[in-house]
């Protein structure tokens, strides 16, 4: 089983990196780009068979280490 | 009186801190490897700057789970004083010993230069020798120094007088132009509610001798010694 975990800065937190990329895309002619938010993708291989158990474990990992709840949001998908 | 300097894999200001305590303060000091859990022999702990665990994931996020950190939490509960500098500050935030978080500098640059900071609270173990609103000239060197806390958190910090240093001009004026990294409220350093844990982005250990361009950092170390002497 594999978990794909996406971590992004909260909406309320400024993301200067996303803003810089947004401006770069705009200046390349992509005027349809309204906003860019940057984040991290963490891929975790799990030695588990039960999807619900995997979800609980990954949620714990996010809360404990992978995301900082003061500044970040996370979401994840369990595959396989 | 003995100082302990914690060394994480990737700490790189540990030797500067050691030098200040040993050769400038002339006091006993020892390194504490991050896997140690016995802290009884020291009276005061410094978490030095650097790049613990390569700053992977988030600054301080992995170091915060080093075995020594549980012992530091106990040390703080018992009233011991802890100074976290730069990466040390980031670790204290991740560990929840100080409120808030650190973001990447707003201008996305690593900033390495002298900065001026104003002592906002001089009734702490770390600033008791500073006159009120004293301006200190202390270097900063970081990529992630942009202090963040939510609005309620910021109000609490102000109400409880936990903001110890703010970035300012050489004559002590706090304004946006003097904010190097985008930190909320120009915050450069904060204490916990009990006032025994200070986290700060500037590096006092890099400026304790006039030959290095400033000796203002010495005031912070000297304040700690003064406080520990008074406590007895």
The answer to whether A17 contacts chain B (CB < 8 Å) is yes
Mean pLDDT of A18-29: 97
Answer for the pair B225, B25: CB distance below 8 angstroms, yes or no. Answer: yes
Residue of chain A minimizing CA distance to B181:
A16
Residue-range definition of the domain harbouring residue B223: 3-231
pLDDT at residue A80, as a whole number:
84
Whole-number pLDDT of residue B8? 98
Chain A CB within 8 Å of residue B106 CB: yes
B contacts of A70 (beta carbons < 8 Å)? 100-101, 148-150
Rounded to whole angstroms, the Cα distance separating B62 from B52 reads 8
Considering only CB atoms, which chain B residues are within 8 Å of A66? 57
- Contact check, Cβ <8 Å, A68/B101: yes
**Residue B39: its H or E element:** none
What are the tens digits of pLDDT across the range A27-62?
999 999 999 999 999 999 999 999 999 999 999 999
Determine whether the interchain pair A65/B94 forms a contact, defined as Cβ–Cβ distance below 8 Å.
no
Q: Please check whether the domain covering A2-79 is classified as CATH 3.30.1280.10.
A: yes
CATH number at residue B37: 3.40.50.880
Interface ipTM above 0.95:
no
B56 in contact with A, Cβ within 8 Å: no
Mean per-residue pLDDT, A53-80? 97
Contact A16 B61 (CB under 8 A): no
Q: For B105-140, b where at least 16 C-beta lie within 10 A, e where not — what string?
A: bbeeeebeeebbbbbbbbebbbbbbbeeebbbbbbb
Residues in chain B with pLDDT values less than 50: none
pLDDT of residue B22: 98
Q: By the 8 A CB rule, do A46 and A3 touch?
A: yes
The residues spanned by each domain of chain A are 2-79
The token duo for A15 is 């993301």
B203-231 burial, b for 16+ CB within 10 Å, e for fewer? bbbbbbeeeeebbbbbbbbbbbbebbeee
């Amino acid at each position: 089983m594999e978990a794909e975990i996406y971590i992004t800065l909260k909406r309320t937190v400024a993301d200067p990196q996303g803003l810089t990329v947004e401006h770069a895309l705009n200046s390349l002619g992509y005027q349809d780009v309204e906003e860019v938010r940057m984040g991290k993708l963490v891929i975790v291989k799990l030695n588990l068979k039960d999807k619900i158990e995997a979800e609980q474990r990954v949620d714990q990992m996010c809360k404990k280490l992978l995301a900082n709840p003061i500044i970040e949001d996370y979401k994840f998908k369990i595959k396989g | 009186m003995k100082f302990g300097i914690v060394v994480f894999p990737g700490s790189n200001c540990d030797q500067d801190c050691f030098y200040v305590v040993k050769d400038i303060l002339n006091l006993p000091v020892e390194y504490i490897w991050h896997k140690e859990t016995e802290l009884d022999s020291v009276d005061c702990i410094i978490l030095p700057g650097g790049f613990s665990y390569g700053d992977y994931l988030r600054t301080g996020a992995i170091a915060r789970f080093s075995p020594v950190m549980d012992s530091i939490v106990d040390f703080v509960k018992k009233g011991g004083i802890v100074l976290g500098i730069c990466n040390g500050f980031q670790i204290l935030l991740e560990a929840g010993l100080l409120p808030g978080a650190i973001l990447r500098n707003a201008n996305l640059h690593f900033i390495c230069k002298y900065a001026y900071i104003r002592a906002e609270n001089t009734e702490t173990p770390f600033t008791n020798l500073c006159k009120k609103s004293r301006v200190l000239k202390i270097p900063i060197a970081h990529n992630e120094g942009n202090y963040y806390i939510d609005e309620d958190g910021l109000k609490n910090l102000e109400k409880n007088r936990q903001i110890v240093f703010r970035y300012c001009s050489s004559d002590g004026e706090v304004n946006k132009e003097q904010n190097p990294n985008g930190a909320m409220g120009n915050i450069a350093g904060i204490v916990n509610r009990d006032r025994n844990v200070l986290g700060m982005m500037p590096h006092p250990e890099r400026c304790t001798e006039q030959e290095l361009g400033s000796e203002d950092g010495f005031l912070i170390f000297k304040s700690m010694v003064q406080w520990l002497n008074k406590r007895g």
